[in-house]
Amino acid sequence: MFEFILKISLIGISISILGLIYRVIKGPSVPDRVVALDAIGINLISMVAIVSILLNTHAFFEVILLIGILSFIGTVAFSKYLQKGVILERERDL
């Protein structure tokens, strides 16, 4: 019964990832795509968590934190590129 509920939530997350992929492909502007990719990362985190419950292991818990950090850094880099045109500035004009 518990496994059945977990599988149903996996299917739900997969459907939400499919909706986000639609937004990544169709999205009229670049910020739409960036936000959709960030949300795909969050969905992947919950997917890894549920799969590690299904497999009855705690070997993937580092992956959860890792995806969170990487998706944050990636989104920040993309937003900075969209706002300023450069990702790494040489010197800020204060």
Question: Residue 26 Cβ, how far from other proteins at the closest point, in Å?
Answer: 28
DSSP assignments along 9-40, one per residue: HHHHHHHHHHHHHHHHHH-SSHHHHHHHHHHH
- Residue whose CB is less far from other proteins, 5 or 65: 65
- Residue whose CB is less far from other proteins, 17 or 60: 60
Question: Residue 37 Cβ, how far from other proteins at the closest point, in Å?
Answer: 17
Q: Which two tokens stand for residue 41?
A: 């990362």
Question: Residue 33 Cβ, how far from other proteins at the closest point, in Å?
Answer: 19
